[in-house]
Structure 1
């Protein structure tokens, strides 16, 4: 990373940032290991580590064990340099994680009102405060908070759209209210977009620049990634396929995609095919000793509905990959994906690969944490004071 020309301070910042990112990516490193990763000379790397230790950006992380000769000192990013919070907000639940800048989760908190009331801004702020307090922090000491919501915030007004299921969050600047109440920097992102970020990092879409993610389960939605970037649209509503008009499917009252792919509609479809029980995920994922002909017909009809939703997106953006996720998408697995592939071939010209998501845990919260960490690292690692 050593370069000729340019401001010495600028080159120092570039090298410092490269070193910090290498330590984040590879874990604790010795000076020699860091030197080989970032391409600096021995004296320059030693000076860099001294500077970053004095500024509090790195810490000593024990000695390298094994090998011949003296044990070498290892260095790591100081996790306490900054903390962030990620929130998955649904109409009646909050799932919160607080992480240090290295990405290690140091506190978690789940909240659900005992009276099943709709969650409001004050509920979220109190819950984040509780999570932060577990590690001795106030919300104002969090460097960044990212909230995933089943809706979209209009960047021009800060108002939440496409979220009639969140009535207490309507009619005001959500970003301004949250930032003011939490006394820190806040971002609000569509929940399905956050799942797509997680899919890009550790899921089926690793290394894929153009893909579509279809969420089916707790609501219906899509995320579109083109050229490695999320498409949000002018008002933040890109991917809101729940409201997309639905061609005739033989379902009474099915006027939009959300009418035929919601959990209730899919359960009704299963019952119409004579499949018993109320656990939709089991009906999708397991045979359960049911009539194989009836189950096959149910999956085929469901695949036809999913293909209609997929067709409306892929015919415009032509992705290389479509990932099916949410409770329905994950439970349907590769069997449902194969049937959707066949149905889609009858509807549109693009032939994307269709695969089920492999993500586990809460991908909304995980994606929010990735977004919060990226923002915090961009700020903290860019401005490093000179001792």
Structure 2
């Protein structure tokens, strides 16, 4: 049995796990992503947590195949930099691989977090039998990992799959990226909470919005139905672009379950261009909380 460390860096939390060659999480921990300190200091804390995790399993670093890192984009996997993620402003242009290498004499692999999660779904999740699929995560934002012809499609710098910034409706309001009507501005968990809060004149979470829609609040149900339609539009765009056999949808918004998936399937069955595309299989992600960890470790296990 071989082992790898997976590190999943997020805007509020960094998750760390020790994963074996069967995709089993042997041990894991997490720590707040403290943006009040310099990134190098945060990397020092991450490295310390990794070493403690390894020691607690009575292992040595030399027994590991390597370390995989998933991080939000934009990033540059060629240079090993986190470039400009909106939720990590203090980390812009930060050389994450160089910083981690101060602590470890191991191979370190680095990819966009959604790309890593797609690899996790291929390895031990919902896409094990697929050679052409798109993993979509819908939570705070919207991102995707693309797997086609038996391999990840990552692009020149590792940013392929930044689908949250497809323009869905130019009249839909200005996104943080500067464009108007981006998919994630209209249909992410953040978008649902923002729009529901405006409608009700108070702070509303995306979960509460879904609950209100389910119990018959007419205005909120209309909002949620509109969001589901926007998600369907994005899925049709991905189907028309990549011709996948499968869409795997994860992230917090996917937890609403059947209402979302039924709406997406109905929209796709009417609007995908290719008749075969209208029958694209659309399923929930199999991996939720540990997808980032397993995906980061998969970058090592599925390479070495």
Q: Where in structure 2 are the equivalents of 1:1-387 lying within 5 Å? A: 79=1, 82-100=2-20, 105-112=25-32, 120-137=42-59, 139=61, 142-151=64-73, 153-248=75-170, 251-253=172-174, 255=180, 256-271=182-197, 278-281=204-207, 283-284=209-210, 286=211, 290-291=215-216, 293-328=218-253, 330-344=254-268, 347-349=271-273, 350-351=277-278, 352-375=280-303, 378=304
Q: For residue 60 of structure 1, what is the aligned residue in structure 2?
A: none
Compute the displacement of 1:125 (Å). Answer: 1.9
Q: For residue 44 of structure 1, what is the aligned residue in structure 2?
A: none
Q: Is the 8 A contact 1:162 1:240 kept in 2?
A: no
Q: Provide the secondary structure at the position in 2 that maps to 1:182.
A: coil
Q: Provide the secondary structure at the position in 1 that maps to 2:257.
A: helix
Compute the displacement of 1:85 (Å). Answer: 0.9
Deviation string 1:63-84 (CA, Å, 9 cap, x unpaired) is xxxxxxxxxxxxxxxx4xx542
Deviation string 1:342-373 (CA, Å, 9 cap, x unpaired) is 33456541322323223343211122233333
1:355 and 1:139 map into 2 onto residues whose CA distance is 38
For the structure 1 residues 206 and 293, does the alpha-carbon distance in structure 2 shift closer, same or farther, using more than 3 Å as the test? farther
Compute the displacement of 1:220 (Å). Answer: 1.6
Structure 1 unmatched runs, 5+? 1-78, 379-387
Compute the displacement of 1:374 (Å). Answer: 3.3
Deviation string 1:323-360 (CA, Å, 9 cap, x unpaired) is 221101x2232221221233345654132232322334
RMSD: 3.0
Q: Provide the secondary structure at the position in 1 that maps to 2:16.
A: strand
Q: Is the 8 A contact 1:121 1:169 kept in 2?
A: no
Q: Is the 8 A contact 1:334 1:356 kept in 2?
A: no
2:122 and 2:65 map into 1 onto residues whose CA distance is 24
Q: Is the 8 A contact 1:216 1:324 kept in 2?
A: yes
For the structure 1 residues 234 and 136, does the alpha-carbon distance in structure 2 shift closer, same or farther, using more than 3 Å as the test? same
2:215 and 2:68 map into 1 onto residues whose CA distance is 44
For the structure 1 residues 282 and 173, does the alpha-carbon distance in structure 2 shift closer, same or farther, using more than 3 Å as the test? same
Larger RCO (CA within 8 A; separation ≥ 6)? 2
1:192 and 1:113 map into 2 onto residues whose CA distance is 18
1:94 and 1:132 map into 2 onto residues whose CA distance is 17
Deviation string 1:108-127 (CA, Å, 9 cap, x unpaired) is 22212678657533232222
1:208 and 1:260 map into 2 onto residues whose CA distance is 29
TM-score (norm 2): 0.82
2:148 and 2:194 map into 1 onto residues whose CA distance is 35
Compute the displacement of 1:152 (Å). Answer: 5.2
Deviates more, 1:141-150 or 1:294-303: 294-303
Deviation string 1:15-70 (CA, Å, 9 cap, x unpaired) is xxxxxxxxxxxxxxxxxxxxxxxxxxxxxxxxxxxxxxxxxxxxxxxxxxxxxxxx
Please identify the structure whose Cα radius of gyration is greater: 1
Deviation string 1:276-314 (CA, Å, 9 cap, x unpaired) is 873423543x46873264454233201122123223322
Compute the displacement of 1:103 (Å). Answer: 5.3
TM-score (norm 1): 0.66
How many residues were matched structurally? 293
For the structure 1 residues 140 and 124, does the alpha-carbon distance in structure 2 shift closer, same or farther, using more than 3 Å as the test? farther
